[in-house]
Chain A
Amino acid sequence: MGTVHARSLDPLPMQGPELGVQADDMDLGEPEHEEKQEVLENKDVVVQHVHIDGLGRTKEDILTYEIADVFRAKSLIDVMKKSHEARQRLLRMGIFRHVEVVIDTAEGANALPNGLDVTFEVKELRRMTGSYNTMVGNNEGSMVLGLKLPNVFGRAEKLTFQFSYGTKETSYGLSFFKPQPGHFERNFSINLYKVTGQFPWSSLRETDRGVSTEFSFPIWRTNHTLKWEGVWRELGCLARTASFAVREESGQSLKSSLSHAMVIDTRNSTILPRKGALLKINQELAGYTGGDVSFLREDFEIQLNKTLFWDSVLSTSLWGGMLLPLGDKPSCIADRFYLGGPTSVRGFSMYSIGPQSEGDYLGGEAYWAGGLHLYTPLPFRPGRGGFGDLFRTHFFLNAGNLCNLNYGEGPRAHLSKLAECIRWSYGAGIVLRLGNIARLELNYCIPMGVQSGDRICDGVQFGAGIRFL
């Protein structure tokens, strides 16, 4: 009998007798075979056995959940569809290098005439992978050592370690991730880290040593994350010329906070989506589980995308946030919001909007920012179908405001404070998409509504990052 190899099916069409399998993969033998295959197409089948070959340290109990669905297939197309889905589920666990699916007729003593055997041939990732890089930049050189241990105990746990030793700073991160068997979207992770950051716009240097645990779980169509984080923060001045307001923030503090984040993401892609929407709401409460700082912080992010005529996309986004210090201590510079720069309100220098003292930006306790973009393919579409598809031209309008609120007054006063002195800008530029994670932008910006104290970057501005307004 002929065998049908169902290999990487991308994408799998859903309609009728047209099989997703390439025509040349099928074993076209004599006409009788063809007839048999045609008959098999819509005939009811029963999946009798599902095997997974090639397991080493992976425990089988977690895999049974992923492949359980295959047993429920009723027709050949169904089997192929469900095996494809099962293959995707096995791959997303991050423990296999590749997964191949082989569908064969059932063999053995109790084989039914319409029985099928499905075999997943897997190759596990190596127990430990390491990487070693040297990085040079920003007047500093460093060596970065990375270690990754996928599937440590056999149930898709992952342990990663990264260590960076530089001429100026040292940082490290250790992270352990464990999904719930059967429900990969429910997982928890523990992180231990030390990071250092330099913020020249505030003349501030920050070193954070912390530990955090987080739980993620989906509820209906939303994804929730609960996190506890304890951080030892050390703030210092970056230069002798730092303003006294920043100098006063120097010192040590301990932050212990609980946070909750909810994400609904129906976009088709994270970078340059063509349709869908994103809603992210995040709140953080610090101070009730120990520590020196005490605040309640809320922020949200909304993005809507719609494809218009001629391959162009209209995208609007709105960001906002508020920080409410609890108790009598004022808020810390490291907790406040910052606005401005090539990734938020374009046309202004990085984080250079809002309250400042002698040229150092102190951040604000409340902000909002909005953007309206029109993305179109490059004019005359050079490199179409290949490299040219990574580029887009965009026309944008950004606006935003950052200020400190006087919490004694009512919401009307807050709204009017946020609505006065709005900074906005407009312009056009080119966007380059880097994989599915980042994008580069080169824009010509015209900032407007500039208040005294803001630093602008009118004209050409370059930006690189993950999250853009």
Chain B
Amino acid sequence: MSLAAEAFVSQIAEDQILLSDSASSLAVQTFLRMCGLPVQVSCCANAEYMSPSGKVPFIHVGNQVVSELGPIVQFIKAKGHSLSDGLDDVQRAEMKAYMELVNNMLLTAELYIQWCDDYTATEISRPRYSSPYSWPLNHILAYQKQWEVRRKMNAIGWSGKNLEQVYEDVSQCCQALSQRLGTQPYFFNKQPTELDALVFGHLFTILTTQLTNDELAEKVKSYTNLLSFCHRIEQTYFKEHDRESQSGSSRHSKGSLP
């Protein structure tokens, strides 16, 4: 079965998307490019509500809609494209473990910084999230999202942490990834897998996003092999495939890596 040209939808309205969604969206885009499939990105303010699971990004292929990286990988595999076929069972288990690590650590840290840190929430997250709506709906929706994320943080035990501890956790996660990567070009030697796509999505977004301070980006930059890993993937899959300014996706700061 082959995949016809697909529409790939995410919440990118350039001035609306937040760090965590941008990272997830970039991860899916990278994965699809690694599979060699045609990708088209379209932006809607209501992408979060359009998605069947409530999370962005989601892909729309023919008349099927699939959201989030895990199900998308499964869906693409069912269509006959897979990046992790060459792995044996042990490696596959390891890959899943690392993907869980990224989701539990990096993604949660991103959410924490966006919504639980008051300064960031007030200066960046709430204004951006509510930008397409008019008063008073914009305030209602922004606060509703903030409460929802804070409740989730409570549930997983992160509400007791402060910002320093979160940065520490990010640093430890990056250390684990850095150690696994070592000097190899990709996590599982020569061929990229969905783990590479996921890690690239998050790290690249962190490095290129302007937050209220640069601590998060600094934590990542301190691991040079991760930095060169991001450069490499950017060069291979994004600069090569389109010559226009599209460095992967749009984010609310500047495009290239430092």
Contacts and interface: CB of A to CB of B under 8 A. Distances in A.
Interface in A244-290: 244, 247-248, 250-254, 290
A179 interface: no
B133 A292 contact: yes
Secondary structure dominating the interface of A: strand
Contact of A251 (B49, B52, B135): B49
Nearest to A248: B50
Contact of B65 (A235, A244, A253): A244
Contacts of B63: 243-244, 358
B59 to A, nearest CB: 12
A232 B138 CA distance: 11
B52 A252 contact: no
B135 A252 contact: no
B156 interface: no
A236 B137 CA distance: 17
B213 interface: no
A160 to B, nearest CB: 26
Contacts of B46: 248, 250-252
B49 A290 contact: no
Interface string A289-326: 01110000000000000000000000000000000000
A292 to B, nearest CB: 5
Contacts of B141: 252
Interface residues on B, range: 10 to 19
A250 B48 CA distance: 9
Interface residues of A, number: 18
A241 to B, nearest CB: 9
Interface in B49-81: 49-50, 52, 60, 63, 65
A243 B52 CA distance: 12
A263 B163 CA distance: 63
B63 to A, nearest CB: 7
A247 B9 CA distance: 12
B49 A252 contact: yes
B60 A232 contact: no
A247 B46 CA distance: 10
Interface in B13-60: 44-46, 48-50, 52, 60
A247 B134 contact: no
Contacts of B136: 254
Nearest to A234: B49
A240 interface: yes
B140 interface: yes
A420 B137 CA distance: 42
A372 to B, nearest CB: 41
A235 B48 CA distance: 12
Nearest to A243: B63
B50 A240 contact: no
Given A240-B52, A244-B60, A252 B137 contact: yes
Given A235-B49, A236-B49, A292-B133, 16 more contacts: A232-B137, A237-B52, A244-B60, A244-B63, A244-B65, A247-B65, A248-B46, A250-B46, A250-B49, A250-B50, A251-B49, A251-B50, A252-B46, A252-B137, A254-B134, A291-B134
13 contacts: A232-B137, A232-B140, A235-B49, A244-B65, A247-B65, A248-B44, A250-B49, A251-B48, A251-B50, A252-B137, A253-B133, A253-B137, A254-B134
Interface of B: 44-46, 48-50, 52, 60, 63, 65, 133-137, 140-141
Interface of A: 232, 235-237, 240, 243-244, 247-248, 250-254, 290-292, 358
Task: Give 8 nearest A-B pairs by CB, closest first.
Answer: A251-B46, A251-B49, A250-B49, A254-B137, A247-B50, A250-B50, A292-B134, A254-B134
